[in-house]
């Protein structure tokens, strides 16, 4: 059995039936990481020895209730793991090893997950290419001269390269969905508040949400079943019924009303992306869904609104990194202010500093009303527009990104251009909605194209089921990059 070709659920099944042991799965992951880490730099920290030790303690008998028992996975490096370095890909966190686990880590550990380590990313999840990491850029397994997307680029690259069967990423403005699209894998940002943020190092608290990156919508459903749920340690987590996504995936989309916002298919969209995404509508129509184009006239506001809110919250969230309590501290400071200035100026990369300055500006005296308050008002307008769309449609179909993966270095030179490429993903965070990104073809250069399905609040099952229906009908999600197999 070629383990790295299996989906997470297939491997989980093989472990449950005793065909494969968790230790064998870890060995396969370890070999794949050894083969690919040098070229794609997906990991910041690999914990293969600890994983192997843990895998040996997992007995198949305990797998009941967790279809992913014993399946190797990894966490993005902004998710706190007790005793394991958690860096946010920043110099400023140094070798910080949190003395606690994030709630998702606790939950997955309890469900038999075996972590192979911590995944590379844009520094503090700020970026769309995973090039701003202090630990070096991540490279796209489909083309090593290209970016894997960001900020969860390491997570998407590791899953695409077969190094782990699934990964947990975070998504503040598309950071799960866009790298999943660029790397040809499936990634889901669940409804805000359905996955506890406790232990996720905050970028923008009102927008951050963790979710899975895996090889299929069914894998994502299985992971979400394990990590969703109200957490008393996160005041913004939503109460509700959780845990039945996988069991409820039918692939039945008869009568599903799909809305296609014309505003997401206009100027700036790569024609090949347009064609592949619209083809998804045809496939679902073939299975009984109805499709209708409509107008969502808020798209020109979503990027500025997103960046004002995200940067404002980030400027506050990242103030705690000052060299005093944890992480890296500058040397040779003269006094307290000098300690703060040197630690933060030398410890944060340029993109992070830019966003902190921007966020500080929009909150400062004299500008709060014009920018921050205005953005919160526009956010209300955007949310209303989506609420209205969901009175008519069950899901919305859009591209994930206007283009396929850019060449390394191409985006960093023009930050505004990079921000604008987030147009299809950021409104989903602003409105707190579930969104799934899944492969729907390759462009002329052989690079994956991603499609996005967006659902109403708590409509996680609807988007998963629609993506699942597409994946029952097609095999785009089964394509892997050349050389993507373990040695």
Judged by CB under 8 A, the chain residues 447 through 486 that form the site for other proteins are 457
Strand ranges across the sheet with 435-442: 43-46, 114-119, 72-76, 166-171, 209-214, 186-189, 435-442, 448-454, 395-399, 257-261, 290-294
Q: Which stretch binds other proteins (CB under 8 A): 28-36, 262-270, 377-385, 473-481?
A: 377-385
- Least separation in angstroms between residue 382's CB and other proteins is 9
Catalytic residue among 151, 196, 237, 401: 151
Identify the CA nearest to 203 among candidates 318, 301, 284: 318
Residue of 37, 109, 290, 341 interacting with other proteins (CB under 8 A): 341
Q: Is 76 a catalytic residue?
A: yes
Residues 382-421 that bind other proteins (CB under 8 A): 383, 415-416, 419
Cα–Cα dist 99/78, whole Å? 14
The DSSP symbol for 41 reads -
Residue of 18, 38, 235, 444 interacting with other proteins (CB under 8 A): 235
Cα–Cα dist 175/177, whole Å? 6
Per DSSP, which regions of 295-365 are E strands?
A: none
Cα–Cα dist 217/187, whole Å? 8
User: Is there binding between residue 44 and other proteins (CB under 8 A)?
Assistant: no
The CA R_g of the chain, rounded to the nearest whole Å, is 21
- Least separation in angstroms between residue 403's CB and other proteins is 19
Give the CA distances from residue 210 to residues 105, 114, 389, in Å, rounded to whole numbers and listed in that order.
Answer: 11, 18, 25
Give the CA distances from residue 114 to residues 13, 165, 314, in Å, rounded to whole numbers and listed in that order.
Answer: 15, 10, 31
Closer by beta carbon to other proteins, 201 or else 277: 201
Could you tell me how many residues of this chain bind other proteins (CB under 8 A)?
Answer: 94
Cα–Cα dist 390/392, whole Å? 5
Closer by beta carbon to other proteins, 73 or else 200: 200
User: Is there binding between residue 98 and other proteins (CB under 8 A)?
Assistant: yes
User: Is there binding between residue 203 and other proteins (CB under 8 A)?
Assistant: no
Identify the CA nearest to 181 among candidates 460, 477, 471, 397: 477
In the shown chain, the binding pattern of residues 246 to 285 toward other proteins, with x for contact by CB under 8 A and - for none, equals ----------------------------------------
Structure tokens at 247: 């069991």
- Least separation in angstroms between residue 339's CB and other proteins is 6
Residue of 44, 71, 84, 200 interacting with other proteins (CB under 8 A): 200
Tell whether omega for the bond before 151 is within 30 degrees of 0, i.e. cis.
Answer: yes
- Least separation in angstroms between residue 436's CB and other proteins is 19
Catalytic residue among 76, 118, 189, 379: 76
- Least separation in angstroms between residue 197's CB and other proteins is 6
CB 481 within 8 A of CB 141: yes
Count of C-beta atoms within a 10 Å radius of residue 274: 16
What value, to the nearest 5°, has the Cα angle with vertex 465 and ends 459 and 466?
95
Catalytic residue among 87, 90, 175, 237: 175
User: Is there binding between residue 100 and other proteins (CB under 8 A)?
Assistant: yes
Structure tokens at 455: 């659902």
Q: Which stretch binds other proteins (CB under 8 A): 106-114, 127-135, 144-152, 430-438?
A: 430-438
Closer by beta carbon to other proteins, 8 or else 378: 378
Element (H, E) at 186: strand 186-189
User: Is there binding between residue 335 and other proteins (CB under 8 A)?
Assistant: yes
Residues 289-328 that bind other proteins (CB under 8 A): 300-301, 303-305, 307-308, 312-313, 315-316, 319-328
- Least separation in angstroms between residue 293's CB and other proteins is 23
User: Is there binding between residue 182 and other proteins (CB under 8 A)?
Assistant: no
User: Is there binding between residue 373 and other proteins (CB under 8 A)?
Assistant: yes
Catalytic residues: 76, 151, 175
């Amino acid at each position: 059995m070629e383990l790295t070709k299996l989906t997470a659920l297939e491997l989980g099944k093989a472990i449950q039936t005793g065909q494969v042991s968790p230790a064998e799965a870890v060995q396969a992951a370890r070999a794949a990481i050894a083969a690919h880490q040098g070229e794609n730099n997906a990991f910041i920290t690999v914990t293969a020895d600890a994983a192997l030790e843990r895998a040996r303690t997992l007995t198949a008998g305990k797998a009941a209730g967790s279809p992913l028992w014993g399946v190797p996975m990894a966490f993005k490096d902004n998710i706190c793991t007790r005793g394991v370095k958690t860096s946010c890909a920043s110099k400023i966190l140094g070798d910080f090893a949190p003395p606690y686990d994030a709630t998702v880590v606790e939950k997955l550990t309890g469900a038999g997950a075996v972590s192979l380590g911590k995944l590379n990313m844009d520094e503090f999840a700020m970026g769309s290419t995973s090039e701003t990491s202090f630990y070096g850029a991540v490279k796209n397994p489909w083309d090593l001269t290209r970016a894997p997307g960001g900020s969860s680029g390491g997570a998407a690259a590791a899953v695409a390269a077969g190094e782990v069967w699934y990964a947990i990423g975070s998504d503040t403005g598309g950071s799960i969905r866009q790298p999943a699209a660029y790397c040809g894998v499936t990634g889901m940002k669940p409804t805000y508040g359905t996955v506890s943020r406790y232990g996720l190092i905050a970028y923008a608290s009102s927008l951050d949400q963790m979710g899975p990156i895996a090889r299929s919508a069914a894998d994502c459903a299985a992971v979400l079943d394990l990590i969703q749920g109200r957490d008393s340690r996160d005041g913004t987590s939503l109460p509700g019924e959780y845990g039945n996504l996988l069991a409820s995936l039918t692939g039945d989309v008869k009568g599903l009303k799909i809305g296609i916002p014309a505003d997401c298919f206009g100027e700036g969209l790569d024609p090949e992306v347009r064609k592949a995404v619209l083809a998804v509508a045809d496939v679902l129509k073939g299975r009984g869904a109805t499709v209708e184009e409509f107008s969502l006239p808020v798209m020109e506001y979503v990027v500025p609104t997103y960046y004002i809110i995200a940067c404002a919250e980030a400027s506050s969230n990242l103030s705690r990194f000052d060299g005093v309590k944890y992480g890296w501290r500058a040397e040779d400071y003269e006094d307290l202010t000098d300690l703060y200035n040197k630690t933060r100026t030398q410890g944060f990369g340029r993109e992070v500093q830019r966003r902190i300055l921007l966020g500080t500006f929009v909150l400062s005296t004299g500008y709060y009303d014009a920018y921050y308050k205005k953005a919160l008002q526009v956010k209300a307008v955007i949310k209303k527009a989506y609420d209205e769309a969901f009175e008519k449609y069950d899901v919305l179909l859009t591209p994930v990104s206007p283009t396929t993966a850019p060449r390394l270095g191409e985006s960093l030179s023009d930050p505004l251009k990079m921000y604008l490429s987030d147009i299809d993903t950021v409104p989903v965070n602003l409105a707190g909605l579930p969104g799934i990104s899944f492969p729907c073809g390759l462009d002329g250069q052989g690079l994956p194209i991603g499609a996005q399905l967006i659902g109403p609040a708590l409509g996680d099952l609807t988007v998963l089921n629609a993506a699942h229906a597409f994946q029952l009908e097609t095999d785009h999600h089964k394509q892997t990059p050349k050389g993507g197999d373990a040695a």
